[in-house]
A and B are shown apart, each in its own frame.
Chain A
Amino acid sequence: MQERKAPLPDDIARRVLLGEERALARLISAMEDGESWAGTALRLLRKEVVKRNSDLPAAQGRSLNSAERGSAGELGSPAPRVAHVIGITGPPGSGKSTLIDKLIGSYRERGERVGVLAIDPSSPFTGGAILGDRIRMQGSALRDEGVFIRSLATRGRLGGLSRASALAVRALEAALYGIVIVETVGIGQSEVDIIRLADSVVLVSMPGSGDEIQTIKAGVMEIGDLFVVNKADRPGAEKAVREIRSMLEMGDRDMPSVLMTVAETGEGVGELVAALDSRWAKLKASGELEARRRRGAIAEARALLSERVRCELEALEGGLEDSLADEIVRGEREATEAAEILFESIRKGDRK
């Protein structure tokens, strides 16, 4: 398939700030496909200098009108805004999408612009994917233009996130969406990756499903900043809450909130929003937000580095891995030595 025609990065950046969804969508696709101009566009978006602060439609929570579409706007943005990046994770069937739908509604009611990334797995066999989370986030009527929902496929990346997720989150933040929600694939261990990306991780489970046991085993408990037992109208909800609390007590940090919701009816969503608000305020006030983002960025860079190494490994001079493997099996070499040899080979760039 041929590559798409690359637009001018500053043109895209300008249009994104004017609230043009198409430009933002194009940018996110470029991030997914690895188009080289995407990084430039993102940097431009973020380095904006205030020229016409409050005039910008995006800051007012709407997209551009016809007059604005015509004008060749200068690059400009309000003082850099930081979005609250909320990761929503949990097993399939726990009602994440419905919960997100209600969260969107609450945030929109108070005038926040909301960006959503809904991530689903790609088929390991065909590389294709069916991305169906959007269905449950449609609200009771047409979503107005203050909500941007984008579905992403993992595209072979392990860990439940797509390669472009980190970049897409930054793009949404730069496009002045004040709340960015990331919904992940939701299967066990791979959920840990979400902490690299999200300022607040909400772990959603439901009663009676035995999830509590699974989350404990997988070490996923440690990544949750808030815990939600959804479908709390089912039997076992109180018990689930107690079990989660007792597991959390064994840890060594401040007790996170454990809440009950019935996403379908909206019950408990107000409390969830309040808990998120209060956490956000604390993160900013204490400086923890910066520290967390820094850790996340390093972790993301390392993950990318791992992938990069894996690619290099695959591109290596033929047979090296295989011959090393044979030697290990024959007892002529240890794995630690083999790793050193491979590392040297990559460093020297002995490609096929």
Chain B
Amino acid sequence: MGDTGKRAKRPERKASFETGSGSPVRCLYMPLDLEGLGLPGEYPYTRGVQETMYRGRLWTMRQYAGFGSAEESNERYKYLLAQGQTGLSIAFDLPTQIGYDSDHPLSAGEVGKVGVAVDSLADMEVLFAGILLDKVSTSMTINAPAAVLLAMYVAVAEKQGLQPKALEGTVQNDILKEYVARGTYIFPPAASMRLITDVFAYCARSMPRWNMISISGYHIREAGSTASQEVAFTLADGIAYVQAAIEAGLDIDEFGPKLSFFFNAHNDLFEEAAKFRAARRLWAKIMRERFGAKNPKSWMMRFHAQTAGSTLTAQQSDNNVVRVTLQALAAVLGGTQSLHTNSRDEALALPTERSVRIALRTQQIVAYESGVAETVDPLAGSYYVESLTNRIEEEAMAYIKRIDEMGGAVCAIEEGFVQREIQDAAYSYQRQIESGERVVVGLNKFQSEESRPEGLLKPDPSVGERQCAALRELRRRRNGERVAAALRGIDAAARGSANLMPPILEAVRAYATLGEVCDAMRAVFGEYRPNACF
């Protein structure tokens, strides 16, 4: 069954056919037993977490953006909101993500490059100037110092006369994938897990509309993993977070509904759509059966997706628009709650206004012109897609079992297991490209001579200097004693077990810098140092 290709008159064009992640693909898929597939809005949510999905409300179009200074980013956010974007997504620069002020020696050359530089509440105020925080939902891609940036956001809202409970949004707050795939860690795992659960507790108590974590697979996939590994390692991280929160005394049905996920939308259309469905189903089972959550909202996996940056080519960059379109389609067919589409020039630089507009229009065309949002989970029942969904779920479960046997995600990471699996997949992918087995149009096939794309975005090199000057000014203006007292409060909380959010809030209100707050915690927690893990 399924090998009719061999008997057909025309021979096949390749010796073997595989999904993007390397799983074998048959010539033909046949009727499967589709019992137990369930309905959208019904456990285990294979077909979607809401009954009506996009018929009720389209996914949030949320373009990740940020660069240079707070002023420049603020302009870009206002532009995007005016162009019809429905949620904000903040990109911070590397020093900010790693808890260094712009004037730290390691920040040299990095300030404002991959995102906006935020050194203190003052920058945060500028970042959201003229944007009413009860009218937007804001996702902040910040991990190790997530508590601090969240505190700053709350402080900005306070100045707008808003309570934390009015705020909608997300902090990524997912340290485990940092150790494995992204690299913006600060503290060692145990201390990081404590900080994360402190954020959980604070959000559960004070920010009911806020997603306290975005458990991420996007970066794991970008680092080279397969689709099944993406699901497996992400959900294993999720298990670790849920476990940690329970051990910290939190009620699973209190924080469960506000966990969210972040996946990659990669090339292979059907494999990706199946992947999202498999992830949803598997998480529902984990929350209900493994952890005994009672609230259905705890079983429902809600996720944001981003199209795969690593698949975009520097060569013939207009082709990237086409890639992104297909990847966006996969995410929508997979039932994503929120989507970022990459711009065509992203292999080369941060996107220009024009490129980011095309990326946004891509989503809008899919939403309004293609018809795929007119019904729920249209791929259901496809023999191929259901087969893929089952297979990915099985493979992910097998990995999770292995990780459980190692003692969980933290142990698996410390042993280097996750890193090695990812690297092996990455290396194999690269070899396939170099041998030509895996075609990348414009790169290893259908190459053309072409002129350099014009008008790429160039980061403003003076941002570093301006931030440093602003820092000097800030340190002069603020109440130094209040800052010092607040930092001592952080030190005390860090050494004990009190929730770190209140002292961090006090510190940011006093205009302590990000670096100062993080250094106070570094002094207690130390810094993480990784292995080579080859």
Contact = CB atoms under 8 A, between A and B. Distances in A.
- Greatest chain A CB density within 10 A among B188, B529, B534 is at B529
B288 to A, nearest CB: 30
B530 A132 contact: no
Interface string A75-101: 000000000000000000100011000
Contact of B534 (A97, A130, A138): A130
A136 B188 contact: no
Interface in A107-149: 130, 132-133, 135-136, 138, 140
Given A130-B534, A132-B532, A133-B532, A93 B415 contact: yes
Given A93-B415, A264-B188, A136 B527 contact: no
A189 B512 CA distance: 56
A265 B188 CA distance: 11
B529 A132 contact: no
Nearest to B411: A234
B375 interface: no
B411 to A, nearest CB: 10
A66 to B, nearest CB: 24
Nearest to A265: B526
Nearest to B533: A132
Contacts of A98: 529
A136 B534 contact: no
B531 interface: yes
A135 B527 contact: no
A132 B534 contact: yes
A136 B534 CA distance: 13
A103 to B, nearest CB: 15
Given A93-B415, A264-B188, A135 B530 contact: yes
Contacts, number: 21
A132 B531 CA distance: 8
Nearest to A208: B407
Contacts of A93: 415
Nearest to A140: B527
B186 to A, nearest CB: 13
B188 A135 contact: no
A135 B531 contact: yes
Interface string B378-410: 000000000000000000000000000000000
Interface in A228-264: 264
A130 B188 CA distance: 25
B534 to A, nearest CB: 5
A57 B42 CA distance: 75
Given A140-B527, A264-B188, A135 B415 contact: no
A180 to B, nearest CB: 22
A138 B529 contact: yes
A98 B530 CA distance: 10
Contacts of B526: 265
B383 to A, nearest CB: 42
B532 A130 contact: yes
Nearest to B522: A140
B415 A136 contact: no
User: Would you call the interface of chain B mostly helix, strand, loop, or mixed?
Assistant: loop
Interface string B352-393: 000000000000000000000000000000000000000000
A212 B531 CA distance: 24
Interface in B495-534: 526-527, 529-534
A144 B526 CA distance: 20
A186 to B, nearest CB: 14
A132 B529 CA distance: 13
Interface in A250-297: 264-265
Nearest to B530: A135
Contacts of B531: 97, 132, 135-136
Nearest to A231: B414
A263 to B, nearest CB: 11
Nearest to A133: B532
Contacts of A130: 532, 534
A133 B188 CA distance: 19
A140 B534 CA distance: 22
A275 B533 CA distance: 31
A128 to B, nearest CB: 12
Contacts of B530: 135
Contacts of B529: 98, 135-136, 138
Nearest to A101: B529
B96 to A, nearest CB: 21
A15 B527 CA distance: 37
A265 B525 CA distance: 10
A243 to B, nearest CB: 21
Nearest to A135: B532
Contacts of B527: 140
A93 B530 CA distance: 12
A124 to B, nearest CB: 16
Contacts of A135: 529-532
Nearest to B529: A136
A301 B465 CA distance: 61
B267 to A, nearest CB: 29
A238 B88 CA distance: 53
B111 to A, nearest CB: 21
A350 B531 CA distance: 50
A93 B406 CA distance: 13
Contacts of A97: 531
B430 to A, nearest CB: 16
A264 B189 CA distance: 12
A133 B533 CA distance: 10
Nearest to B534: A130
Interface string A161-176: 0000000000000000
A136 B532 CA distance: 8
A83 to B, nearest CB: 27
A296 to B, nearest CB: 30
A205 to B, nearest CB: 15
Nearest to B416: A93
Nearest to B415: A93
B418 to A, nearest CB: 14
Nearest to A97: B531
A264 B527 CA distance: 10
Contacts of A136: 529, 531-532
Nearest to A264: B188
A138 to B, nearest CB: 7
Nearest to A139: B529
Interface of B: 188, 415, 526-527, 529-534
5 closest residue pairs by CB, A with B? A132-B532, A130-B534, A135-B532, A132-B534, A93-B415
6 contacts: A97-B531, A130-B532, A132-B532, A133-B532, A135-B530, A264-B188
Given A132-B532, A135-B529, A136-B532, 6 more contacts: A93-B415, A132-B531, A135-B531, A136-B529, A136-B531, A264-B188
